[in-house]
């Protein structure tokens, strides 16, 4: 009995316990209410199923959440990522172009520049935009939310400017592979997320970057006194967030084969922040967990997918989603749990109450 | 005999891995100033936190005016009649003085805040404390001393029966301390019970009626101040005899006047910045302890900050070991072998949510850059070594540094700098808010480091400390360096006269 209580305490104290519990609750709901939710089939050599679909659709959000986690860890926030997604798609689409020409009598698609160049250009532009945010926050000293608000507003305009107000459709099929392709039967997007995640996790754990970012988020003054180039690392965090948004933008653009400056990535910055919070990270900066944020992104996508799957009328999906999110947040809040458990403890008598107090 | 105001019986408090308080009894009478003494980590702060509801107790009972109370939060404790003024001023610097006093309980007129009334009452309150200032100005415009007074005024206005002062004097100068004391003596006459925590023995004997001594989380005893000789007090706090403690500090060695160029480590010429400090010259030799003395706000910290690259200078030059160079950031300074222990431990020193280990290796890691990550095993070795070397009291190297007592946090910061093997260590108030035992340890350490060839710039508000430790003193007044004293001149009377400008 004693051992089990101890074990329970170790498990619940782990940073990832509550994000994982939230994911489990959402999945459990689907186990009972959604038909064939856990069924994974193999069709045409690819894995198919709701779960695969969730992971695939969550890919852009997971990328955003990874970038956002680092920014939030430095006590900042980046609300421009949604607009950056639109710009990323606009740059890629307008560079790849969509001209159908007749060459030697057959219809052929001609790209303006080779696809790899377009991809690199889109990522370079978004990273530059991230750097712009970083410059405003780290060097000029503007509050993060205001600094990134500038790009949130201007970004959609820039995207429209690039696409000249049109929705550009991409007919070039190889580009579709990024967002809709399969590698070894698994969506290609998953490999992209894994690669970014693995590289950044390696950098954070095998170099001092993780330590520095946490130190800056907890106490930037003391970090500066200790000789850390505070503004440099804050700058890098925003640049990286821009890069992540760029990759996410390519995936979204490729998935729908078009660049829509107005609607691509709309409100996704909010989902990204939510993913970070659901991942058990404090928006006040400091200690963080990348894996937590990724799980948070999966929770959000699972909710969205299960709302569609259970047939909630589309006009009220956002309300349902909000209610679920509130419940999860309450579940994760220590003070809320203390209140609930204290009530519960009182009902069971004073003995258990005194033990909870000592915890 | 005055009636009893506050009784705490058998107070216990445990933190992960630490017994902070075990069965401590405490009694405060009405109309009494009661001092709580003990080394860092003895449990003073914890006892106060328990009394004021910041921490819940794990055992024991508290009675206020014979009624059993269980403070749940500082607000609750305040409603019950226990008000606290903390060591670090806990107010909002960007709000006005009056707002700070009445925040959360603003007098209202027809549903709206009555600003006239707030300002009038705030002014009246402060005048009662002989403080005539403009209460509509933001608090940050005023010195720490005045901020402290405002904090006390706020505590008083909330109908306090018991006033707890947690090291209120650690950042005040002598005149301000006297002023504060006159205020608390007045409060005592009105029958208030005052619990006073300080490290300054002089002050204990100046104001208190009784003393309660704690050591390692347990009660040592309660004594009448008049009947307890100072030597006894210190011995009881440390748990050793006074002779032993006194022998720890060695007498200052007089180093011969050597002015050869190769012995100079740091040479500053005409360094200054308008509004912060007038241009000054300064040289520090290898293995020398140079003291910066002067009153609060005389520019001691500003001097240090400028040398360390924290503030920009608009004139002058710095030479290190003869080489002229620009120090534009702390990172620059660290590369040149400088280290700086700042005055505000909490805001500028520790990273409170990181572990002791991470705090210790931080500066070295910053010096190495992010690519050369110190291997985890090596980090642990370093942390263990310095925890042992400086006898840092912690339940382990993975303990969060915020759970350590003030003196031990200071040692962690010292360790952070010592492992970078600095050639010049700048210490700004390294012993502030630290008990006598640790103070002596740190002073001894500084002398030892200097003997091994490290240069030290030592800033302290306690004159006797500077006199005891330093080879040479630079005297500052009103942001101007006015004199340098060495050898025979380093004597309390001379130094005081120089500071005063007589």
pLDDT attached to residue B322: 86
Q: B354 to chain A: nearest residue by CA?
A: A215
Other beta carbons within 10 Å of A82: 25
| Minimum-distance CB partner of B353 among A208, A218, A228 | A218
Chain B CB contacts of A358 under 8 Å are: 14, 58
Helices and strands per DSSP (H, E), number in chain B: 17, 22
pLDDT in tens, A126-155: 999 999 999 999 999 999 999 999 999 999
Q: Where are the domains of chain A?
A: 60-290
CB-based contacts of A36, cutoff 8 Å, min separation 6: A49, A50
Distance CA(B74)–CA(B55), nearest Å, equals: 9
Alpha-carbon gap: B8 to the closest alpha carbon of chain A (Å): 19
Q: For the range A327-333, what are the long-range contacts, defined as Cβ-Cβ under 8 Å and sequence gap of 24 or more?
A: A328/A22, A328/A25, A328/A278, A328/A299, A329/A277, A329/A278, A331/A18, A331/A21, A331/A22, A331/A25, A332/A18, A332/A19, A332/A22, A332/A278, A332/A280
pLDDT attached to residue A68: 97
Chain B CB contacts of A219 under 8 Å are: 347, 350-352
pLDDT in tens, A268-315: 999 999 999 999 898 888 999 999 999 999 999 999 888 888 888 878
pLDDT attached to residue A324: 83
Question: Mean pLDDT, chain B, as a whole number?
Answer: 85
| Minimum-distance CB partner of A229 among B310, B331, B333 | B331
Question: Bigger pLDDT: B150 or B234?
Answer: B150
Chain B CB contacts of A222 under 8 Å are: 342, 347-351
Residue B245 sits at the vertex; the CA angle it makes with B239 and B246, to the nearest 5 degrees, is: 150
pLDDT in tens, B58-100: 888 999 888 899 888 888 888 888 888 876 667 888 888 888 8
| Minimum-distance CB partner of A221 among B347, B370, B416 | B347
Share of chain B above pLDDT 90, in %: 32
pLDDT attached to residue A352: 37
pLDDT attached to residue B202: 77
Query: What is the pLDDT averaged over residues B287-312?
Result: 88
Q: A211 to chain B: nearest residue by CA?
A: B358
Q: Inter-chain contact B354–A208, Cβ cutoff 8 Å? A: no
Query: What is the pLDDT averaged over residues B456-477?
Result: 88
Q: Inter-chain contact A224–B334, Cβ cutoff 8 Å? A: no
Question: Mean pLDDT, chain A, as a whole number?
Answer: 87
Q: Inter-chain contact B353–A208, Cβ cutoff 8 Å? A: no
pLDDT at A118 over 80: yes
Domains in chain B with CATH codes: 4-247 (3.40.50.300), 261-337+422-500 (3.40.50.300)
| Minimum-distance CB partner of B416 among A218, A221, A226 | A226
Beta bridge partners of A42: A47
**CA-CA-CA-CA torsion sign (A307, A308, A311, A316):** positive
Please report which helix (H) or strand (E) contains residue B26, including its range.
strand B18-29
pLDDT in tens, A38-84: 888 888 878 888 889 899 999 999 999 999 999 999 999 999 999 99
Alpha-carbon gap: A166 to the closest alpha carbon of chain B (Å): 45
CB-based contacts of A29, cutoff 8 Å, min separation 6: A306
pLDDT attached to residue A341: 75
Alpha-carbon gap: B203 to the closest alpha carbon of chain A (Å): 31
Share of chain B above pLDDT 70, in %: 92
pLDDT in tens, B248-291: 444 444 444 444 556 889 999 999 888 778 899 999 999 999 99
pLDDT in tens, A147-178: 999 999 999 999 999 988 888 888 888 888 99
pLDDT at B17 over 90: no
Helices and strands per DSSP (H, E), number in chain A: 16, 8
Q: Inter-chain contact A211–B358, Cβ cutoff 8 Å? A: yes
Radius of gyration of chain B (CA): 24
pLDDT in tens, B225-256: 988 887 778 778 777 554 444 444 444 444 44
To which residue do tokens 């698994």 refer? Answer: A186
ipTM for the whole complex: 0.83
For residue B320, which of B234, B363, B262, B280 has the smallest C-alpha distance?
B262
Other beta carbons within 10 Å of A117: 13
pLDDT attached to residue B487: 83
């Amino acid at each position: 009995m004693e051992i089990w209580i101890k074990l329970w305490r170790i498990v619940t104290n782990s940073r990832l316990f509550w994000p994982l519990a939230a994911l489990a609750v959402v999945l459990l709901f689907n186990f009972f209410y959604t038909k064939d939710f856990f069924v994974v089939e193999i069709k045409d050599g690819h894995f198919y199923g709701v779960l695969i679909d969730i992971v695939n659709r969550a890919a852009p959000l997971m990328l955003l959440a990874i970038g956002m986690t680092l920014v939030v860890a430095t006590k900042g926030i980046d609300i421009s990522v949604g607009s950056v997604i639109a710009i990323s798609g606009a740059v890629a689409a307008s560079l790849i172009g969509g001209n159908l020409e007749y060459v030697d009598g057959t219809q052929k698609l001609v790209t303006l520049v080779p696809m790899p160049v377009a991809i690199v250009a889109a990522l370079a532009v978004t990273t530059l935009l991230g750097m712009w945010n970083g410059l405003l926050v780290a060097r000029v000293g503007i509050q993060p939310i205001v600094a990134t608000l500038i790009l949130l507003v201007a970004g959609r305009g820039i995207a429209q400017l690039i696409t000249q107000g049109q929705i550009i459709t991409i007919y070039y099929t190889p580009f579709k592979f990024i967002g809709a392709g399969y590698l070894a039967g698994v969506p290609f997007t998953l490999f992209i997320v894994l690669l970014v995640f693995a590289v950044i996790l390696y950098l954070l754990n095998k170099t001092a970057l993780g330590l520095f970012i946490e130190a800056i988020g907890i106490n930037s003054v003391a970090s500066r006194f200790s000789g850390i180039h505070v503004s440099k690392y804050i700058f890098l965090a925003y640049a990286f967030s821009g890069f992540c948004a760029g990759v996410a933008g390519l995936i979204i653009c490729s998935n729908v084969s078009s660049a829509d400056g107005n609607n691509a990535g709309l409100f996704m910055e909010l989902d990204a922040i939510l993913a970070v919070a659901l991942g058990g990270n404090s928006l006040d900066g400091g200690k963080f967990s990348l894996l937590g944020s990724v799980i948070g992104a999966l929770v959000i996508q699972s909710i969205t997918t299960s709302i569609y799957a259970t047939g909630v009328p589309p006009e009220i999906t956002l309300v349902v989603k909000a209610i679920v999110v509130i419940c999860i947040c309450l579940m994760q809040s220590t003070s809320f749990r203390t209140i609930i458990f204290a009530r519960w403890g009182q009902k069971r008598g004073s003995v258990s109450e005194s033990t909870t107090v000592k915890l | 005999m005055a009636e009893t105001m506050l009784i705490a019986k058998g107070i216990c408090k445990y933190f992960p891995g630490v017994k902070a308080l075990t069965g401590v009894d405490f009694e405060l009478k009405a109309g009494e100033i009661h001092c709580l003494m003990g080394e860092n980590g003895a449990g003073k702060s914890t006892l106060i936190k328990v009394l004021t509801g910041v921490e819940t107790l794990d055992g024991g009972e508290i009675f206020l005016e014979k009624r059993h109370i269980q403070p749940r939060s500082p607000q609750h404790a305040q409603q019950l009649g226990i008000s606290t003024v903390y060591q670090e001023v806990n107010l909002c610097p960007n709000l006005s003085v009056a707002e700070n006093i009445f925040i959360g309980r603003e007098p209202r007129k027809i549903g709206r805040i009555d600003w006239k009334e707030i300002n009038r009452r705030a002014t009246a309150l402060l005048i009662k404390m002989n403080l005539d200032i403009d209460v509509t100005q933001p608090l940050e415009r005023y010195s720490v001393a005045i901020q402290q007074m405002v904090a006390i005024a706020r505590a008083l206005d909330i109908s306090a029966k018991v006033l707890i002062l947690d090291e209120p004097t650690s950042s005040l100068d002598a005149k301000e301390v006297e002023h504060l004391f006159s205020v608390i003596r007045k409060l005592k006459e009105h029958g208030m019970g005052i619990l006073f925590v300080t490290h300054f023995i002089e002050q204990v004997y100046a104001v208190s009626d009784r003393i309660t001594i704690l050591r390692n989380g347990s009660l040592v005893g309660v004594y009448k101040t008049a009947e307890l000789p100072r030597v006894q007090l210190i011995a009881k706090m440390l748990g050793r005899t006074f002779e032993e403690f006194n022998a720890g500090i060695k007498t200052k060695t007089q180093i011969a006047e050597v002015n050869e160029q190769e012995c100079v480590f740091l040479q500053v010429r005409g360094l200054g910045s308008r509004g912060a400090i007038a241009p000054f010259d300064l040289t520090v030799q290898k293995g020398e302890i140079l003291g910066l003395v002067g009153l609060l706000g005389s520019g001691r910290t500003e001097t240090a900050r400028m040398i360390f690259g924290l503030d920009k200078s608009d004139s002058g030059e710095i030479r290190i070991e003869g080489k002229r160079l620009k120090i534009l950031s702390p990172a620059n300074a660290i590369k040149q072998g400088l280290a700086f222990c700042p005055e505000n431990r909490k805001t500028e020193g520790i990273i409170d949510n990181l572990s002791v280990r991470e705090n210790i290796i931080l500066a070295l890691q910053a010096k190495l850059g992010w690519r050369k990550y110190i291997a985890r095993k090596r980090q642990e070795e370093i942390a263990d070594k310095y925890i042992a070397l400086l006898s840092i009291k912690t339940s382990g190297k993975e303990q969060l540094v915020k759970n350590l007592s003030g003196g031990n946090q200071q040692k962690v910061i010292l360790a952070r700098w010592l492992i970078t093997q600095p050639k010049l260590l700048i210490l700004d108030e390294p012993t502030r808010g630290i008990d006598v035992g640790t103070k002596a340890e740190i002073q001894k350490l500084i002398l030892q480091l200097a003997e091994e060839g490290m240069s030290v710039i030592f800033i302290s508000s306690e004159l006797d400390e500077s006199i005891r430790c330093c080879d040479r003193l630079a005297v500052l007044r009103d942001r101007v360096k006015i004199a340098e004293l060495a050898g025979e001149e380093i004597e309390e009377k001379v130094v005081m006269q120089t500071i005063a400008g007589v």
